[in-house]
Structure 1
Amino acid sequence: MGSLRPFWGFVLVLWIVVAGGAAPLLAEDEIPTLFDPKVTTLDNGLEVVVLEDHRAPIVTHMVWYKVGAADENPLKSGIAHFLEHLMFKGTDKLAPGEFSAIVAKNGGQENAFTSQDYTAYFQNVSVDKLPLFMEMEADRMSNLALTDETVGPELNVILEERSQRTDNNPNALFGEQFDAAQFLAHPYGTPVIGWRHELEKLTTQDAIDWYNTYYAPNNAILIVAGDVKADEVFALAEKYYGPIPAREIPKRERVQEPPQLAKRVVEMKDKRVRQPSWRQSYLAPSARSEDQKNVRALEVLSQILGGGVTSRIYSDLVVDRKIATSAGAYYSSGSYDKSTFVVYGSPTPDHSLDDVEAAVQAIIKDVIENGVTEQELTRAKKRMLADAVYARDSIRGAANIFGSALASGETIEQIVNWPKHISDVTPEEIQKAAQQVFDERQSVVGRLLPEDAKS
C-alpha cells in the first residue's frame, strides 16, 4: 500500500506504444495495435474493461476509484490514502486482515495505491480464483466496517509511514515544498500522504464520510487482464458488482491555477543531504487536454531530452562535459488537471548547481530556437517502441495503463490510438510544444543543498 504522484506519463511511454517512429519506420496501415479491449458498463454505472491475454493461466483484477488526494476537502489532507489502508480492515463478512489472509492462502498477490487522481486495488491470482476475489472486492466496495478500534491504530501506521518516507527523507521533504511552489492554488500542491498536522486530526467519521461519498460502482472502473474471456468476465461482474447500487457522486470540481506570472526559486538545506541537486519544473498540459498533438509532442520531447544515455541532456552533461553525475528530463502527462515537465541534474564535485542549470538551459534554448533533428525524432520513437515491446509481457502493466488513464479522464480511443498519434509527431510540432511549455513565468527552480553549502 502506498501513495503515488500521477505517473501516467512514465507508464504511458514505457508500456503502451507498440508502433512508433518517423515515417520511414512504419507506414500508417502497418502500425499494429497492442490492445483490443472489450468494454461494457453495468446498469449501476461500473465500467468494465477486459484485456484478454492467454499466454498463462493468471489474471490481474483491479478496481480503480476515480477519486484521489486532489479531491480532498480543505483540512482533510491524507484522507484518500488513509481510506486506502482502511479498506483492508474488514467488512460485515470478513474480519480485519482476513481479506489479505485469503489472498495469501490462495497463492495470490495484492496491493493498493493512491495518487492525486485515483485510488486502486489489485490482486494477481490464478484464473480459477477470479470469482473469489471479485466477490471479496465487491464486498468491500459496499460493506466496509469501520470502528474506532480499527481506525485509530491505522492512523498511527500512516503517521509512521509519513515519518519514514517523508519526514526522515530530505529529498521527499524538498519535493513537498517544490510541488507547493509549483501549484499556487490547485490541490496538486498538497502531498498525497497529507500534511502531518492535518493527518493527526483525521477521525473515523472522516473515513466513513469519504467512503460513503466516493466508493460506489458508478465512480469505479473494473479492469481484468489475463487468461479470461470477456463475456465470462462481464457475467461475473454482473453477478458480484451488479447488485451494488449507484450513488450520487459529487462533480469533480477543483480549484484551478490562476495565471502564473513569476518564476519561483525554492532552496532547501539539510544536514542529511550528501549530493546537491537541481531541478526546474514547468506547468504543462495533461493527456486530457484538447490539444492532443501538443501533449504527444511533449511526450516525445521528454524522450529526446531525458530518455537514457543517448538523450540530449544526459549525453551532454554527464557523458561529454562531465558536469553532472546524473541529469535528464521527464513529463508526467497522466494527470486529470495540469501537469509538469521537469528537467534536473546533480553536479560532479568540481561543478556547481549553477553549472548544471546553465547547461540545461542552453539545451532548452537550442530546442526552442532550432528544434530537434529527424535523427533524434526517429531514435526517440524507436526507443519508445523497444521499451514497450519488452514491457508488454506484463499483464498487470496493461491493466495499469487502462486503469490510470481512464481514472484520469482519458478515453479508450485515446489509449488505443496512442501509437499512431506518437508516430505522427513531427519536428515542427515538438518545437512548437517546447516554445509553449518552457515559459519561465510558469516554472519553479529547486535547489537542494547540504546544510553547510554556499547558496
Structure 2
Amino acid sequence: MIQHSLKTLVIVTWLSLSATLATAKTTATHEFLLDNGLKLIVREDHRAPVVVSMVWYKVGGSYEPLGLTGVSHVLEHMMFKNTKKLKTGEFSRIMSKIGAQENAFTSKDATSYHQMLSAERLPVSFELEAERMQNLIIDDQEFSKEIKVVMEERRLRTTDKPTSLTYERFLATAHQTSPYKNPIVGWQRDLEAMTSEDIRHWYQQWYAPNNAVIVVVGDIQPKAVLELAKKYFGPIKPKQLPVLKPIYEHNTPGERRLTVELPAQLPVLLMGFNVPVIKTTKQAWEPYALRLLAAVLDGGYSARIQKNIVRGKEVAAFANASYNAFSRSDSLFILNGSPNRQKQKNMQDLENALWQEITAIQQAPPTVTELNRIVAQVISGLIYQQDSIRTQANLIGGLESIGLDWQLADQDLDKLKAITPHQIQQVAKKYLVRERLTIAELKPKGLHLK
C-alpha cells in the first residue's frame, strides 16, 4: 500500500511538473521600449483573471555614498506620501478600495513598487504609479515623521535582534571595498543626519522613466498594456542619469574574524567566502557551479550538511548554505549554523565540521547520482516558481534591474544541467579558501564557548 501510494505520488508530481514546464515554455513574453526610455515587459499568463504590476527603479542600497546610507529605503517610504494629485495614504486607500494587494521593497540593487489586482484594474495602477514617478512632494513635516518610522524599523529588525546585528557587522567586514557592506536600512548615524533635501535630491536624480522597468504578468493582452503605458508613462520626460562605474570587491584580503557578544539565546557561526556572480565572473559557468555547490551542501533533507552535521554527528542544532548569483557586484558564499549545545558542541566543533564537508568536496567531486538528485531538486523548484505570477514578475524585474536580460531566466535550467561534478569540485577548491573567508561569531553574553 505504501509503495503503491509512493509510486502514485511520483507519477502525479512528474505530471504536475511536466504540465507546469509546458505552461512556462509556451508563455509569451513581450518587451517594449517607450520613446522616453522606459522599458516595459509583459508576460501573458491567462490561468486566472489577475495581474501583477511592478515598477522597478534601478537604484538601491549599493548606489548610496557613505554618509547617505538608507536614503533609497527612506524614499520608498515617502513614495506613499503627498503628490500633486494624491494626499498622504491615498495611494494605499485607492488600492484597497479596488481590492488590490500592494507593497514595496528596497534591495541592494533596486527599489520596487508592486500590486496584484484584477486585470481590468490595471489602468488604476498605471495612473497612480505615473503620478508618483513624476509628482512626488517631499514635505518637511512628513519626512520628520517618516524618518522616525524608519529608525524604529531599524531598531526592531536589526539593533534589537542579535542575529541581525551580527549579520550586519559580518557583511561590513566581508565586503571590503564595495558598497554591499552597508545595510539597506542605513547606518543609524546616517539616518539621524538625513534631511528632506537629501530625499528630494535622490528622487530627482534617480526616479525617471529611463531608469525604470515596468513588469506586468498575468491575464492581459500585451498591446493593450503597451497602450496604457504610452498613455500614462509616455508623457513623462526622461532625465540625465548619473554615470555609473563598475563596483568591485577586494576578494582575497585574507581571513577576517570578529566576535559579537550580545544578549542572545543561541550562539551563531557565520562563514562567508567572497565569490563572483554572473555579472562579474570571468568564467560564465562558475556561478551555476556555485549554486549547485550550495545545493550539494544544503539542498534538502538528504544534502550533506543535514545528513552529516545536523543528524549524523549531531554537531549543529541547525546549519545552512546559501549563495546568490544575481547582483551588481560580487557576492558571498555563506555557511551558517549554531552548535548543538545539548551534545556539548561548541563553535570550534561546528567550524571544523563545516570545513570537513568543504574539504571532502575539494578532494572528491560529488557523484553523478548525487548531482542528478540535486539538479532535479533545483529544477523542480524553478519550475514550481512558474505557478506564481508574482514570482515570475520578481524574477524578470530583478534581472533587468541589475543589467541582465530577463531571458537569462529561460536559460537557467539548461545552464544548471550542463554543470559537471568536476566543475563543482573546481569552484570549491578555487573559492572556498581562507584568503577569501570572513568568520563572525555571535556569542551570547555570559555563555563561555570555546
Q: Are residues 398 and 32 of structure 1, via their aligned partners in 2, closer, same or farther at CA, if it must alter by over 3 Å?
A: closer
Moved more, 332-341 or 31-40: 31-40
User: Are residues 154 and 353 of structure 1, via their aligned partners in 2, closer, same or farther at CA, if it must alter by over 3 Å?
Assistant: same
Cα distance in 1 between the residues matched to 2:23 and 2:367: 23
Partner of 1:49: 41
Q: Give the deviation of 1:431 after TM superposition.
A: 1.3
Q: Distance in 2 between matches of 1:238 and 1:216?
A: 15
SS at match of 2:260: strand
Aligned equivalents of 2:24, 2:52: Cα separation in 1? 24
Q: Secondary structure at the match of 2:132?
A: helix
Partner residue in 1 for 2:410:
416
- Determine the C-alpha separation between the residues in 2 that align with 1:294 and 1:35: 29
Q: Please tell me whether residue 206 in structure 1 is matched to residue 201 in structure 2.
A: no
- 1:367 touches 1:431 (CA, 8 Å); kept in 2? yes
Q: In percent, how many aligned pairs have the same letter?
A: 35
Q: Which residue of 1 aligns with 2:362?
A: 368
Deviations 1:320-341 (A, max 9, x none): 1111111120101111100110
| CA distance 1:36–1:191, change in 2 (3 Å) | same
The answer to which structure, 1 or 2, has the higher relative contact order (CA under 8 A, 6+ apart) is: 1
Cα gap change, 1:167 to 1:32, in 2 (>3 Å):
closer
Q: For residues 32 and 82 of structure 1, what CA distance do their matches in structure 2 show? A: 36
**1:193 and 2:201 correspond:** no
Match of 1:68 in 2: 60
Q: 1:287 aligns with which of 271, 278, 287?
A: 278
Q: 1:34/1:416 Cα in 2 relative to 1: closer, same or farther (>3 Å)?
A: farther
Within 5 A, what are the aligned runs for 1:237-386?
A: 237-253=229-245, 255-258=247-250, 260-271=252-263, 273-290=264-281, 291-349=283-341, 350-386=344-380
CA separation in 1, counterparts of 2:252 and 2:189?
28
Aligned to 2:9: none
Deviation of 1:270 (Å): 1.0
Aligned to 2:435: 441
Give the match's secondary structure for 2:99.
coil
Aligned-pair distance for 1:425? 1.1
2: CA distance between counterparts of 1:416 and 1:286? 18
Question: Aligned partners of 2:25, 2:296: CA distance in 1, in Å?
Answer: 24
Q: Which residue of 2 is the match for residue 97 of structure 1?
A: 89
Q: Please, which moves more after superposition, 312-321 or 212-221?
A: 312-321
- Contact map agreement 2:251 2:274 (CA 8 A) in 1: no
SS at match of 2:407: helix
Alignment: residue pair count: 428
Check if 1:118 corresponds to 2:110.
yes
TM normalised by structure 2 equals: 0.92
- How far off is 1:432 after superposition? 1.3
Assess, with a 3 A threshold, how the Cα gap between structure 1 residues 399 and 32 changes in structure 2: closer, same or farther: closer
Provide the residue aligned with 1:451 in structure 2: 445
**In structure 2, what is the equivalent of residue 11 of structure 1?**
none
Distance in 1 separating the partners of 2:30 and 2:109 = 24
* 1:403 paired residue number: 397
Q: Distance in 2 between matches of 1:259 and 1:324?
A: 28
Given that 1:31 and 1:419 are in contact with CA atoms closer than 8 Å, whether structure 2 keeps it comes out as: no
8 Å contact from structure 2 (residues 27, 45) kept in 1: no
TM-score, normalization: structure 1?
0.91
Q: Distance in 1 between matches of 2:155 and 2:26?
A: 41
SS at match of 1:63: strand
Asked if structure 1 preserves the Cα contact closer than 8 Å seen for 2:61 and 2:69, the reply is: yes
Question: What are the Cα deviations for residues 80-117 of structure 1, in whole angstroms up to 9, with x where unaligned?
Answer: 10000000002100011100000001111110000111
2:73 aligns with 81
Query: 1:254: Cα distance to partner?
Result: 5.5
Given that 1:69 and 1:77 are in contact with CA atoms closer than 8 Å, whether structure 2 keeps it comes out as yes
Three-state SS of the structure 2 residue aligned to 1:150 is helix
Is the counterpart of residue 427 in structure 1 residue 385 in structure 2? no
Q: 1:431 to 1:35 in 2, by over 3 A?
A: farther
Q: CA deviation at 1:36?
A: 3.7
Give the 5 Å matches for 1:13-28: none
CA distance in 2, matches of 1:75, 1:253: 19
Q: CA deviation at 1:197?
A: 0.8
Please give the alpha-carbon distance, in whole angstroms, between the structure 2 residues aligned to 1:213 and 1:35: 36
Q: How far does the alpha carbon of each residue in 1:403-446 deviate from its partner, in whole angstroms, 9 at most, with x for none?
A: 11111121133222111111111112111121222121111011
Aligned AA for 1:324? A
- Give the Cα–Cα distance (whole angstroms) in 2 for the partners of residues 36 and 354 of structure 1: 52
- Structure 2 residue aligned with 1:388: 382
Q: CA RMSD in A?
A: 1.8
Q: Which moved more, 1:438-447 or 1:33-42?
A: 33-42
Deviates more, 1:314-323 or 1:114-123: 314-323
Once residues 34 and 166 of structure 1 are traced to their aligned partners in structure 2, the CA distance between those partners, rounded to angstroms, is: 43
Which amino acid in 2 is paired with 1:240?
A: Y
Question: Displacement, 1:392?
Answer: 2.0
- Which residue type is aligned with residue 91 of structure 2? F
CA drift at 1:251: 1.9
Q: Secondary structure at the match of 1:213?
A: helix
* Residue 252 of structure 1: how far off its partner (Å): 2.1
SS in structure 1 opposite 2:25? coil
Q: What displacement does 1:127 show?
A: 0.5
**Residues 337/238 of structure 1: CA separation in 2 closer, same or farther (3 Å cut):** same
* Inter-partner Cα distance in structure 1 for 2:223 and 2:52: 16
Deviation at 1:59, TM superposition (A): 0.5
